[in-house]
Amino acid sequence: MQKYTYDPLHLFIDGAWLEAGSRDTSAVINPATGATLGRLPLATPADLDAALKAADRAFETWRQTVPAERARILKGAAELMRKRSVHIATLMTLEEGKPLSESVDEVLRAADYFEWFAEEARRIDGRVVASNRPGVQQLVKRQPIGPVAAFTPWNFPAITPARKLSAALAAGCSVILKPGEESPATALALARCLDDAGLPKGVLQIVFGVPDMVSAHLIASPVIRKVAFTGSIPVGRLLSERAAAGVKPITLELGGHGPVLVFDDADIDAAAIGGAANRFRGTGQICISSTRFLIQRNAYERFVERFLAKTRELVVGDGLAPDTQVGPLANPRQLAKMEALVADALAQGAKLLAGGKRMDRPGYFFEPTVLAEVPMSARIMHEEPFGPIAVLRPFDQLDDGLAEANRLPYALSAYAFTRDARTAIDVGDRLQAGMIGINQYRIVATELPFGGMKESGHGSEGGTEGIGHYLTNKFISQA
């Protein structure tokens, strides 16, 4: 295979690209081969203080930079991301493992968020409210909330930073971002585009470190006025508590266990073939992935047959190989978790229809796995798998299917397949999820709000809703 180069890794603080020097470092591993790609500098408390100081200072000038200028810089960065998309995507595939075509798609979608929010910057408005007192003018202004601490995971190393950075920077906030330590070069490459497009120094800092130390340090600082996190529910809960101690708002996107309701009258082949492709995309490490397939009794047999046929066709391999459709898991923790979930389900009486074990090759590969007739007592019926395992179960009546779909505390994405308009309206209304796909699996778009309900989090990113979390209301009543 062709030799690919990986970018050097830095911290980015107050406009400076800092090398490891005497700092501790952690290894970044290629999950397809197990090879070390580079060493990541980990921020010290002094680095975090420098980042806070820079974000505090730069906020004062960035908030006063006119929206058209902020928009010009964000659009410039989007253009650079597009020009550099193959390079950035290659970094992403090397460090995260997904197929290169999906990495390119992710970088282009990240660029689209910067363009969208550049335009939103120009549409920030307020109100003039009629006063009940003669001669009094009442203005409602929306102003940037202040410096933001943002935390993003390893699975979507371009799009999760992009959703936060684009909206926060457009609103006029400065940001300290801590991306996932397992896939750091992608976020650094996005920051490089912003730097090259003319983002003033100090407006954005990128730090890495021991995640718990970094979040405790940043969120406790009075400089930080807003927190945003994408990741697991336990960590989201912890960061919520830290934010609450300083009475700071937090946006949370915390994963899901996406149900798919397939009704007897649906296009069963589309639901099954698209379902298998969707389930194993990103090696199942996607928070809005379809994970629990609930199939109405008469369609069950055909669905299972088509789903299995598609699963068996999938080409698993290194994301840099042109025919790869499913890459490795991102880290060994995920591998151990898949093994534990499968062993538990089988011990409780589930049927293994495909896959079920790690693959005998270097890297963190796990076979696309299909489990049927999984008892409700199995862990996988309660825990987000976040890996390449699909669960198939039959249901009888619409109410039974909906009850199972809505049973868990997760409520991020849900899907339904039916040709009946009444059923489609009903499930769209009654499914508990922030994002719902009816007769389709690809549901995310820049112009739509991305976010969950219940324990999947709160606050939406993207769409016209996305910028509001980085703005605060102020009224001025003038006599």
Q: With respect to ligand NAD, which residue has the nearer C-beta, 74 or 371? A: 371
Q: Does 232 bind ligand NAD (CB under 6 A)?
A: yes
Identify the three-state secondary structure at position 432. coil
Identify the three-state secondary structure at position 68. helix
Q: With respect to ligand NAD, which residue has the nearer C-beta, 238 or 438? A: 238
Q: Which two tokens stand for residue 465?
A: 């809703």
Q: Does 101 bind ligand NAD (CB under 6 A)?
A: no
Straight-line distance from the first to the last Cα atom of the chain, in angstroms, rounded to the nearest whole number: 73
Cα angle: 382, vertex 235, 281; to 5 degrees: 60
Give the one residue of 67, 126, 200, 211 binding ligand NAD; rule: CB under 6 A.
211
Q: Does 122 bind ligand NAD (CB under 6 A)?
A: no
At its nearest, how many Å lie between ligand NAD and the CB of residue 307?
23
**Whole-number Cα distances in Å, 174 to 67, 163, 402:** 14, 14, 43
User: Which residues fall within 8 angstroms of residue 41, CB to CB, at 6 or more apart?
Assistant: 9, 10, 11, 18, 19, 20, 21, 23, 24, 25, 208
Q: With respect to ligand NAD, which residue has the nearer C-beta, 156 or 300? A: 156
Q: Does 121 bind ligand NAD (CB under 6 A)?
A: no
Give the one residue of 90, 205, 230, 296 binding ligand NAD; rule: CB under 6 A.
230
CA–CA separation, 443 vs 438, rounded Å? Answer: 9
At its nearest, how many Å lie between ligand NAD and the CB of residue 288?
8
Burial 116-143 (b: 16+ CB within 10 A, else e): bbbebbeebeeeeeeeeeeeeeeeeebe
- Piece of the chain touching ligand NAD by CB under 6 A; list 122-130, 134-142, 149-157, 374-382: 149-157
Does the annotation mark 253 as catalytic? yes
Burial 55-74 (b: 16+ CB within 10 A, else e): bbbbbeebbebebeebbbbb
At its nearest, how many Å lie between ligand NAD and the CB of residue 181?
6
The full DSSP string for 94-134 is: HHH---HHHHHHHHHHHHHHHHHHHHHHTT---EEE--SST
At its nearest, how many Å lie between ligand NAD and the CB of residue 32?
18
- Piece of the chain touching ligand NAD by CB under 6 A; list 32-40, 89-97, 224-232, 306-314: 224-232
Identify the three-state secondary structure at position 168. helix
Q: With respect to ligand NAD, which residue has the nearer C-beta, 84 or 217? A: 217
The catalytic position among 287, 367, 384, 461 is 287
Residue 55, strand partner residues: none
Q: With respect to ligand NAD, which residue has the nearer C-beta, 363 or 401? A: 363
- The secondary structure of residue 155, as a DSSP letter, is S
Q: Does 180 bind ligand NAD (CB under 6 A)?
A: yes
User: Which residues fall within 8 angstroms of residue 64, CB to CB, at 6 or more apart?
Assistant: 172
Q: With respect to ligand NAD, which residue has the nearer C-beta, 118 or 167? A: 167
- Piece of the chain touching ligand NAD by CB under 6 A; list 5-13, 22-30, 129-137, 225-233: 225-233
Give the one residue of 60, 212, 305, 396 binding ligand NAD; rule: CB under 6 A.
212
Do β-strands 148-151 and 175-178 pair in parallel, antiparallel, or remain unpaired?
Answer: parallel
Counting every residue written for the chain, the total comes to 479
Identify the three-state secondary structure at position 323. coil
The catalytic position among 95, 106, 253, 461 is 253
Do β-strands 11-13 and 226-230 pair in parallel, antiparallel, or remain unpaired?
Answer: unpaired
At its nearest, how many Å lie between ligand NAD and the CB of residue 287?
3
- Piece of the chain touching ligand NAD by CB under 6 A; list 57-65, 92-100, 102-110, 207-215: 207-215
At its nearest, how many Å lie between ligand NAD and the CB of residue 439?
24
| Residue 443 and residue 437 in contact, taking contact as beta carbons nearer than 8 Å | yes
Residue 191: closest CA among 170, 205, 208:
205
Q: With respect to ligand NAD, which residue has the nearer C-beta, 138 or 232? A: 232
Do β-strands 389-395 and 369-372 pair in parallel, antiparallel, or remain unpaired?
Answer: parallel
Does the annotation mark 287 as catalytic? yes
At its nearest, how many Å lie between ligand NAD and the CB of residue 43?
12
Give the one residue of 90, 155, 278, 413 binding ligand NAD; rule: CB under 6 A.
155
At its nearest, how many Å lie between ligand NAD and the CB of residue 322?
27
Give the one residue of 94, 187, 235, 402 binding ligand NAD; rule: CB under 6 A.
235
76 CB neighbour count, 10 Å cutoff? 18
Touching ligand NAD, residues 377-406 (CB under 6 A): 384, 386
Give the one residue of 62, 113, 151, 415 binding ligand NAD; rule: CB under 6 A.
151
Contact residues toward ligand NAD (CB under 6 A) are 151, 153-155, 180-181, 211-212, 215, 230-232, 235, 238-239, 253-255, 287, 333, 384, 386
Name the residues annotated as catalytic. 253, 287
